[in-house]
Structure 1
Amino acid sequence: MPEQYAFVLHARPYRDNQQLVDLFTEAEGKVSALVFVGQSKRSIKKALLQPFLPLKVIIKGNANLKHIHAIESCAKSYPLVRHSLFSAFYINELLIRLLTEHITCQDLFNQYQKTISALANQQDIAPQLRIFEAALLAELGVSFEFSPVFEHDVQWFCYVGEEGFIPIYDEQVMTKTEHNRYFNSEHLRAIANNQHQGIATLSVESEQTFKLLMRQVINNLLGNKPLNSRKLFIKNL
């Protein structure tokens, strides 16, 4: 297997001075592989096994057991702090939880680098997360069909997995369930235009709607098992 670009998503001790590393790679997508790091606290390989450091790696082995044969940094680590750092950990956890191993996803890998770079450059976090989430969902075969929000003259919609956006004609049903399951049609139209035309900004209200929509869809994919990275935001408010 030739050399390829990669990022560490997560690394943990394994046994016999080895670590089990989850990588996001340019050519193979998500890969779990073992690497020998030795006993020294100053191990060069151990120092490289950190998130958000651009790497070049050579991975060998069969589908059941991969080994990192060679590893080196190819640029400086992205300087992420506080909420930008927490957001980057959130992105990493999404990739670990949702991607299937050994499936090439070049576009998503490119978007990952763009998103991490944008976060490191202190760009607005919310738009960057929505862009990445949309790219990840597209890779997973999930997309939004916004045409119903333009075709139906109602104020509210709900979103149902395989059915998409469903208009709410009787708003009384909203009082019987969680209100954040329903989305304002004006906000959804703004999101649709944002996706189609590449508009850089949304109103605060539309951005919040977009966040709730993405959270609902992603939570369903996760099986409603909470993400650990979200706790970082709560602890550091």
Structure 2
Amino acid sequence: MIEQNAFVLHSRPYRENQQLVDLLTEQDGKVTALVYVGQSKRSIKKGLIQPFLPLKLTLKGQGNVKYITQIDSISKSYSLVKYSLFSSFYINELLIRLLTEQIACQHLFSQYQTTLTALAQGEEIAPQLRLFELALLEELGLSFDFSPVFEHDVNYFHYIAEQGFVPVYDPFPKNSTQCFDKTHLQAIAQRGSLYQNGMSEDVSYTFKLLMRQVINQLLGNKPLNSRKLFANKAYS
């Protein structure tokens, strides 16, 4: 048993007076755990099992499902409203769908906190989601190699899984929606200055399309429910 920081990603009723909880923990990564919440509607534990509330808890047990033996909040919930809240549900669903159980991911845990903080402070949503998506892909071993976009003298590139960026030699490709502009990809590759100086609408759109293509491939045929919350705001 070890006490560690954690966030609830999702919870649902299990058996009488119990909940099954998906957690992102600082030491153990994504964990599925059971917690006894009691019968009272005013149960303290029941009030703590909610997303975006920083927690400190202790897990016990072996196997795929742990037991939460102790749980406390360590600060107030992040103040998230409207599209910032929807964006936070989006990153929670990504973690549930894509992370493997019980593999430590301390850098991603730190990025998760950083993203929630930025969203709660009202910072621009799209850059925060892209940074988080990049951190998640790196955790999954899928970091981008941008070197081809600097080496090839072409205007557009395809991105192909397990191959990376592939040059498109037709200067005016017919299906340009499947291509990524070279200058946009170069800006994304140098994202340190990109976020300091602001991101153009065109680059932001290319970045979103690139990340959506890669993430959709990982998700397979089952789309994310949280994307429906955005309506006309295509952040994810």
Q: TM-score, normalised by structure 1?
A: 0.94
Counterpart contact for 1:149–1:185, Cα < 8 Å: yes
Deviation at 1:199, TM superposition (A): 3.9
| Structure 2 counterpart of 1:222, from 197, 204, 219 | 219
The size of the alignment, in residue pairs, is 234
1:168-207 alpha-carbon deviations (Å, 9 max, x no partner): 11256x43x5x43210111111111225876452211001
- The 5 A counterparts of 1:1-237 are 1-170=1-170, 174-175=173-174, 177=175, 179-195=176-192, 199-234=196-231
Q: Distance in 2 between matches of 1:199 and 1:180?
A: 28
Take 2:110 and 2:64, find their aligned partners in 1: how far apart are those partners? Answer: 27
| Maintained 8 Å contact 1:194/1:202 | no
Q: Give the distance between the partners of 1:180 and 1:39, measured in 2 at CA.
A: 54
Off by >3 Å, runs of 4+ in structure 1: 195-200
Question: Structure 2: how far apart are the matches of 1:236 and 1:210?
Answer: 15
Q: SS of the counterpart of 1:221?
A: helix
- Secondary structure at the residue paired with 1:3? strand
- Separation in 2, partners of 1:54, 1:72: 9
2-structure distance, mates of 1:17, 1:235 = 39
**CA RMSD across the alignment:** 1.7
Q: Aligned equivalents of 2:188 and 2:5: distance in 1?
A: 33
Percent of residue pairs bearing the same amino acid type: 64
Structure 1, unmatched stretches of 5+, are: none
Secondary structure of the equivalent of 1:6? strand
User: What code does the residue aligned with 1:24 have?
Assistant: L
Structure-1 separation of matches of 2:34 and 2:197: 41
Distance 2:39 2:232 in 1: 34
Q: Tell me the secondary structure at the aligned position of residue 77 of structure 1.
A: coil
- Check the 8 A contact 1:191/1:202 in 2, yes or no: no
CA distance in 1, matches of 2:219, 2:193: 27
Superposed CA offset, 1:62-110 (max 9, x none): 1133110011100000000000000000000000000001100000000
CA distance in 1, matches of 2:146, 2:120: 32
Q: 1:200 to 1:54 in 2, by over 3 A?
A: farther
TM-score (norm 2): 0.94
Q: For the structure 1 residues 195 and 157, does the alpha-carbon distance in structure 2 shift closer, same or farther, using more than 3 Å as the test?
A: farther
Q: Is the 1:83–1:233 Cα contact (8 Å) retained in structure 2?
A: yes
For structure 2, list consecutive stretches of 5 or more residues without a partner in the other structure. none
How many angstroms apart in 1 are the aligned matches of 2:30 and 2:147?
A: 34
Q: CA deviation at 1:224?
A: 3.6
8 Å contact kept, 1:9–1:21: yes
Paired residue type of 1:230: R
Amino acid at match of 2:112: Y
Separation (CA, whole Å) in 1 of partners of 2:210 and 2:12: 33
